[in-house]
Chains A and B, each alone.
Chain A
Amino acid sequence: MPPTIERQGSTQAIESSGRLGVRVAIFLALQFLVLASLGWGYSRNEHALLGAARQKHALLDASGPPRLILVGGSSVLYGLDSPTLAETSGLSSVINMALTAPLGLELMLNEVRGHLAEGDVVLLSFEYEHFCTDVVSARDLIWLLEQRPISLEDMGVDQLKLVLDRSLYHLGSVLRSRSWDGPRAHDPIHDIAYINRYGDSTVSQHVDEVAAPIPTLLDCDLGRSGLIATQVEKLRSFTTEAAANGAEVYYAHPPLEARSFESAQADIAVIHRRLSEALPGRLLSEPVEATHPVRDMLDSNYHLRHAPKLRRSRLLGDRILERQKRVEPRGIEPLTS
């Protein structure tokens, strides 16, 4: 049946839509009242690990070059010891900016991009998931915004889309439990109380028995995702930009449990090759150097117990010192040249 399109006098239509507009406005105001009463008393979780973003950014803002700035996900937060790095690298001012990999590579880079100056050194320990699958989690991004709203500035378009899409569902979660603390609140591994004055997590010094098992093998299929080219290019342009500001950027493989390494060895080799080609002289370690027996792992892949953490920090600190002593060309030549 063809559609019936009714024509009305324009004045009548405007009056009618005006009345409707008032009714809709009253209805929405009522819903906001309901929302306010349901959400009354809700406050952000002061124990949440992502709250450490405030402290880390304050450290970054308050310090000046030359600094060693650590960037990455939890492999940096739980896998590096800043005092050891300071001691071995010769850079006394160390700031660990890392939180968790699902915040995404773009946000990690954007957080420090505008702060780099002559004499700064960045150590970025990526996680393999950044190249394999899109690990960015809207949930973590929203939790970060809850703790530090200004982090919105560091998010890329894709991350903002994710946040916007999930925001209604986050509100639903909040309403379901006004006293909601987030699933990590009661987990000592993710407690902000263990963050030291450099921004490292010191939980490995306090917790030795970990209930959570080492997770299953690394799921990496580079061919499927096609993400590697985009991510390598991001790192390359970040390095070039840093060099233009007088800062050096070095990269390190994350600590991986031996079985996981074996299962993903072929993909890791591809990642290593691509990074070595795009960032010559910038990788501080070989993939195999970052493998560990299961007894070295704290609660999952990438997270180390205290002693292996110190060993790893010493190794990377020594290598930074070694590289800094060499005369390095600033910046990265374009791949096409």
Chain B
Amino acid sequence: MTFTTLTFLLFLGLVLGVYRALPNRRTQNVLLILSSYAFYSWWDWRFSVLMLVSSLVDFLVGKRLAQVDGTRSRKWLLAASLGANLGLLGTFKYFNFFAAELTDLAASLGLNLHPVTLRLVLPVGISFYTFQTLSYTIDIYRRQLEPSKSLLDYLAFVSFFPQLVAGPIERAAHLLPQFQQPRQVRESDLVDGLRQILWGFVKKLVLADNLARIVDLHYANPGESSGPVLMLATVCFGFQIYLDFSGYSDIATGTARLFGFRLMRNFANPYFSMSAAEFWRRWHISLSTWFRDYVYIPLGGNRASRARQAFNLLATFTLSGLWHGASWNFVIWGALNGLWIVPSVMTGRRASEGPDDLPGGTARLPQPRALSRMLGTFAFVTLTWVFFRADTLGDSLLIFERAGLDLLTPSAYLEAWQVIGGELGLFALLGLFVLAEWFQRGKQHGLDLPWPRAARWAVYSGLIWLCMYRMPNDVPTFIYFQF
């Protein structure tokens, strides 16, 4: 079930109404489990069976881990959980990629292997809930978390529909206790939750899906567009992916608040970052911190020589690229970001800004130095998006080639200008959005407005009807559903 459909809005209204009428947290949790499985089965009921199996394995392993003391037994249990979860992920997401690569490698060595491929549909959100359940067993193994005594609480934690298919990837230590205690939903939670949902809809329907038209058109046949047009399409993709994914996260967080839950913040104005390190503290925070805690630190983190730190970073970023999908494009995208961040480690200059600090400084308008650093960071991030978005590695290289060849061709810039001219309304809305993001950057979302009620209602109404007028003709999907 996609958030931006009438189906979801009716579903949400129904589940919320019943939820608020239920007498205690236990019955509320049962409702949340049932509704979450119904939500997930809207795509395909078989996906729910897979999620249930994955959840049960980790629940049982977690329980057993708490009962066993021997190091060897505990390691075996952890291996069982890792094997089950990564096995599922590997089968559904990576098997065909590695089988094809192995066949190619064998062919280059003169061996003729018949490629074995599986005809499997990738279950929506498998990478997200797999990582969430993995963190549960790893934390218990590390004795940082007590296992859940209640299967119901645990199933509700894994399947919680607002964040099930595209995160934020919650840690058990943060979300599970919220299922184990009674929830009291304040009026401010309901109001602010609804505002954040609306803000997510605006990002997705008004901006992301309309930017997608430009991106899809030029990325479908990069050989037919000029360099500046391809670069413009790449900038558009930079905004599209941010608006699409952070819009999803806003709807997820807002929805969770309606039920009295607090999800972790997933984006903190990343495009106002002034360095690579800061960007990665503000972009897809739940995944970045997951890789930090479960890959980077176990590899030795920053308690090692500079060279080793650089290796750890590169390995972590490359793996995070592979998490996004089974293709060399994602691997290169991850590695490039790793290479970008390594110098700050080697020189010992790390960004001090965290996601809760005000990005871009505290001045009302950005200072020239801060602005140039922001633009530089944005430019680099945008270039790496070429690998993320292009269909093949060949297409990525072609886009860079076209950009290089057309660098000094004035007519090519005219083409880019014509693209902008054809979508002036969209670019004007995008400009307004950037301003809103800047002035609201200290807040959780853009609709936290300290205005009189009449003015706020006028803004909300305007945005609702803007969504209706700018939404695409067909139901769009969210980019991160494919991961």
Which residues of A are interface residues toward B (Cβ below 8 A)?
2-8, 13, 16-17, 19-20, 24, 27, 30-31, 34, 38, 138-139, 161, 164-169, 171-173, 175-176, 223-224, 226
B174 and A27 within 8 A (CB):
no
> In the complex the two chains form, is B474's CB within 8 Å of A3's CB?
no
User: Whose C-beta in chain A lies nearest to the C-beta of B468?
Assistant: A172
Chain A residues with CB under 8 Å of B376's CB are none
Residues of A close to B468: CB separation below 8 A: 171-172, 175
| Contacting pair B474 A169 (CB below 8 A) | yes
Closest to A21 in B: B190
**A168-B471, A171-B468, A175-B468 known; A5-B461 Cβ under 8 A:** no
B305 to chain A, nearest CB (A): 33
Residues of A within 8 A of B5 (CB): 164-168
Given contacts A5-B181, A34-B461, contact A165 B472 (CB under 8 A): no
A161–B187 contact, CB under 8 A? no
Interface string of B183-204 (1 = CB under 8 A from A): 1101100110010000000000
The 8 Å CB contact of A166, one of B177, B182, B475, is B475
Residues of B within 8 A of A (CB): 1-2, 4-7, 9-10, 20, 42, 119, 174, 177-178, 181-184, 186-187, 190-191, 194, 260-262, 457, 460-461, 464-465, 468-469, 471-475
B187 near A16 with CB under 8 A, answer yes
Q: How far is the CB of B371 from chain A (nearest CB, A)?
A: 32
Secondary structure at chain A's binding surface: helix, strand, loop or mixed?
helix
A4 to chain B, nearest CB (A): 8
Decide: A31 and B184 in contact? CB cutoff 8 A: no
Q: Which residues of B contact A167 (CB under 8 A)?
A: 5-6
Q: Is the CB of A5 within 8 A of B260?
A: yes
The CA of A17 and the CA of B260, in the complex, are separated in Å by 13
Known: A17-B190, A161-B7. A169 touches B174 (CB 8 A): no
Contacting residue for B42 out of A161, A168, A173, CB 8 A: A161
Sort A-B residue pairs by CB-CB distance and give the 8 closest, nearest first: A168-B6, A172-B471, A16-B187, A3-B262, A164-B7, A165-B5, A167-B6, A172-B468
A3 touches B174 (CB 8 A): yes
In this complex, what residue of B is CB-closest to A174? B468
User: Cβ of A8: which chain B residues have Cβ within 8 Å of it?
Assistant: 184, 186
B461/A3 in contact, CB under 8 A: no
A17, closest chain B residue (CB):
B187
B469→A175 contact, CB < 8 A: yes
User: Which of B10, B20, B182, B460 is in CB contact (< 8 Å) with A5?
Assistant: B182
Q: How far is the CA of A269 from the CA of B91 in the complex (A)?
A: 32
Residues of A within 8 A of B1 (CB): 165
Which residues from chain B contact A31 at a C-beta distance below 8 Å?
Answer: 461, 464
CB closest residue in chain B, given A168: B6
Can you list 19 A-B pairs, Cβ within 8 angstroms, ordered by A? A2-B177, A5-B178, A5-B181, A5-B183, A6-B184, A8-B186, A17-B187, A20-B190, A24-B194, A34-B465, A138-B475, A161-B42, A164-B7, A165-B2, A165-B5, A165-B6, A169-B472, A171-B468, A172-B473
Contact across chains for B6 and A3 when beta carbons are under 8 A apart: no
A164-B183 Cα distance, complex, nearest whole Å: 31
Task: List B contacts of A13 (CB < 8 A).
Answer: 184, 186
A20 & B191 in contact (Cβ 8 Å cutoff):
yes
Our pick among A5, A19, A20, A172 for the contact of B469 (Cβ within 8 Å) is A172
In the bound complex, do residue A30 and residue B457 qualify as a contact, i.e. CB atoms below 8 Å apart? yes
Q: Which of A5, A20, A224 contacts B119 (CB 8 A)?
A: A224
Docked Cα-Cα span, A4 to B186, in Å, equals 11
Residue of B nearest to A170 (CB): B473
A3 touches B178 (CB 8 A): yes
Residue of B at shortest CB range from A13?
A: B184
Closest to B260 in A: A5
The answer for the CA separation of A173 and B1 in the assembled complex, in Å, is 21
Counting chain B CB atoms within 10 Å of each CB, the highest count among A6, A13, A138 belongs to A6
Decide: B475 and A169 in contact? CB cutoff 8 A: yes
Residue of chain A at shortest CB distance from B191: A20
Q: Please, how many angstroms separate the alpha-carbon atoms of A172 and B460 in the complex?
A: 17
Closest A residue to B9 by CB, please name it.
A168
Q: Is the CB of B184 within 8 A of A7?
A: yes
A276 to chain B, nearest CB (A): 25
What is the CA–CA distance of A304 and B146 in the complex, to the nearest angstrom? 71
Q: Closest CB-CB distance, B193 to chain A, in whole Å? A: 11
CB proximity of A14 to chain B, nearest CB, Å: 10
